[in-house]
Amino acid sequence: MHHFEHYDYFLAILEKQSIAKASEKLLLSQPYLSQYLRKLEDELQVKLFDRTKRPLQLTSAGRQYLEYIEEFRRVNDRLNESLGKKNNNTLRSISMGMSYWRSYYLLSKILQKYTCQYPDMHIQLHEGGSEFLNKSLNAGNLDICIINASYNSPQYICDVLYNERLLLVAPKDHYIVNEHYRNIEEIVPIDLMLLRNQRFIMLGKGNLLHTLANILFEKYYMNPDVVLATNMPSTALRMVAAGIGFCFTFELATKHFDEMDKVRFFSLETPNLVYPLSIIYRKDLATPPFCALVDIIKEVCSINKETNKE
């Protein structure tokens, strides 16, 4: 491990003063983050945090390591700025990350507009769950990313486009829906305690919906029967439409799913659970082709937001 590899992980632990809370912010598993810290301390042959204190506090070595990180960031920023100026006129390819779900519904609209303006530009698409996208950002492998999270890094700008509700999806004819919500058409909060032992279709590990579902299961002491795990939200929705179980999704699905007559959407808790949809993009690529892509993504996502309001 390089001494400054994934230093954002160290900074997140410092900010949250807890490995568990930092792992939630970074959308990483707690064991993975604990292993990162152990390897870093083994490599440096010092303890960076005093684990006997709660909340976690920096040791003297940890404070010195923080000073080196801050200096490393300043040097790195100067280097990126210098290289960015040299490469401004030679950008021919942009690396873009987004989830499978957003790629399916948004990418064609984005590229339809963009390729008309810049037909010679190449887009390298990286699709995956939130954990994959966060790791790709931390490794510097993405130029632009659309993700349901905020992100703090000296190399990137994070613009929150809007907040999106987390929703529960239920089979329309399920007996719980008929018994408790038969005459209600709009999206209303559902009592998750009613679903404690029901069947669920889960998104795979590494997906934000997987993490959020497990948080809700634990909070409401739920013991769901997970009948299927899939990496595709569209597959989970079709399983719900077939009456196989329940699933969680973001608000995007309410306007783009083609079997709306077979499902019901419910909000979660009061006030509603909402999560930011953000566009994250590199600071050092302020070229006309790059800025145009950022603007088009914001425009398409803004149109999608207004569609969700209808």
**Segment 243-279, tens digit of pLDDT:** 999 999 998 878 778 899 999 999 997 677 888 999 9
Q: Which amino acid is at 111?
A: L
How many C-beta atoms surround the C-beta of residue 71 within 10 A? 10
Decide if pLDDT at 77 tops 80. Answer: no
45 touches 7 (CB < 8 A): no
Span 172-193, average pLDDT: 89
Averaged pLDDT score across all residues of the chain:
87
Q: Tell me the fold of 90-162+276-309.
A: D-Maltodextrin-Binding Protein; domain 2 (3.40.190)
Model confidence pLDDT, tens digit, residues 133-153: 988 998 888 999 999 888 888
Query: With pLDDT > 70 as the criterion, what percentage of the chain qualifies?
Result: 91
Give the start-to-end residue ranges of the domains of the chain: 7-86, 90-162+276-309, 164-274
> Which residues are CB-neighbours of 9 under 8 A, at least 6 positions away?
22, 26, 28, 33, 36, 37, 138
pLDDT given for residue 1 in this prediction: 46
Greater confidence (303 vs 291) lies with 291
> Which residues are CB-neighbours of 158 under 8 A, at least 6 positions away?
150, 151, 152, 278, 279, 280
> Which residues are CB-neighbours of 143 under 8 A, at least 6 positions away?
94, 95, 96, 281, 282, 285, 290
Q: Tell me the fold of 7-86.
A: Arc Repressor Mutant, subunit A (1.10.10)
pLDDT given for residue 88 in this prediction: 46
Model confidence pLDDT, tens digit, residues 91-112: 678 999 999 888 988 999 999 9
Decide if pLDDT at 85 tops 60. Answer: no
pLDDT given for residue 310 in this prediction: 45
Q: Tell me the fold of 164-274.
A: D-Maltodextrin-Binding Protein; domain 2 (3.40.190)
Lowest mean pLDDT among 74-78, 195-199, 260-264, 289-293: 74-78
Decide if pLDDT at 192 tops 90. Answer: yes
User: Residue 177 — pLDDT band, cuts 50, 70, 90?
Assistant: very high
Model confidence pLDDT, tens digit, residues 4-27: 677 888 888 988 899 988 888 777
Span 148-171, average pLDDT: 92
User: Residue 82 — pLDDT band, cuts 50, 70, 90?
Assistant: low
Which residue, 279, 307, 271, 266, is CA-closest to 161? 279
CA angle 281–18–229, rounded 5-degree value: 65
Same fold, 7-86 and 90-162+276-309: no
Rounded to 10°, the helix 233-241/100-117 angle is: 130
Q: How far is CA 145 from the centre of its chain?
A: 10
pLDDT given for residue 291 in this prediction: 92
Model confidence pLDDT, tens digit, residues 211-230: 999 999 999 999 999 999 99
